[in-house]
Amino acid sequence: MKILVTGGAGFIGSHLVDALLEVGHEVVIVDNLSRGRSENLNPGAAFEQIDICDARVENVFSTWQPEMVMHQAALANVRESFQDPLEYARVNVLGSLNLIELSRRHRVRKFVYASTGGAVYGEPVRLPVAEDHPIRPLDPYGASKHHVEHYLELYQVNFGVDYTILRYPNVYGPRQDPYGEAGVIAIFAQAMLNGRQPVINGDGLQERDFLYVGDVVTANLATLEKGSGGYYNLGHGEGVNVNRIFQVLQQETGFTGKREHGPAKLGEVQRIFLDCAAVARDLGWSPQTTLESGCAKTVEWFRAH
């Protein structure tokens, strides 16, 4: 198929592009390179450097006539979203709506949307968090991502635009930005390899569901034929605390320093991990990469780069 991938120069998007090309699809990437990196671009894909909010994105649809859109592009920094909520609404909501509307006009067969399981649910009232858990995002980033889910539902009901929504947990792996706010595995791995002391926020007992990027890619590939009109959590279904992450990376990098703790992050959810029974049932997907194996691959990449 012809598949348009937004954010295809980014961390997750570039891995998805690589996999789609490997199995024989034709791919066009839309990325403004504000967060993505040109070195992540696969030369086997066409590339259009353009913002998803730009009206000229329609030219990409007219020229390439994609059969599917796999929408990975987004602003995704929780603290930054508090500082500039209007920009997060512009890019994540209006940019996504621009793509959904163009998909309607150009008769795109399916729209696959990367949402967030870590931010749309807010503070969990039960664990693991299933898809029917109350939606209570506690930051502008989570709110902006969830708004788009509603637009996809109404575009399917009124215009027949098919979709699948994947709610990501904490994704990690090669090519992740080690200098951002999120991505504790990338941040710690880079620091340890450079002999710098990583600092754990708070007591380090906060738990997240850490998922290797290769497993995120296989979930996206499963949506090519399955998951019509569904929204699915991804993950292992269990939490891992940050102190454990430090220990695993210490073993992989040979870092000799001890754990160092700093102030807790204001407003941080203490424990969240996702129930993934629905994606296993409907898409036949489950993660195949253990934390130890995924961290080893990640450290290997950072060591080489």
The DSSP bridge partners found for residue 113 are 71, 165
The torsion angles phi and psi of 281, rounded to 5 degrees, stand at -70, -45
Amino acid identity at 259: R
| Distance separating alpha carbons of residues 12 and 14, to the nearest angstrom | 6
Q: Give the pair of three-digit tokens for residue 245.
A: 């992450």
CA distances to 12, 170, 194, 231 from 213, rounded to whole Å, are 6, 10, 23, 19
> 195's torsion region: left (phi>0), alpha (psi -120 to 50) or beta?
left
| Distance separating alpha carbons of residues 91 and 294, to the nearest angstrom | 31
Instruction: Kindly give, in sequence order, each residue whose CB lies less than 8 Å from that of residue 214, ignoring residues fewer than 6 positions away.
Output: 15, 173, 288, 289, 294
Active-site residue list = 141
| CA diameter of the chain | 59
| Distance separating alpha carbons of residues 79 and 76, to the nearest angstrom | 9
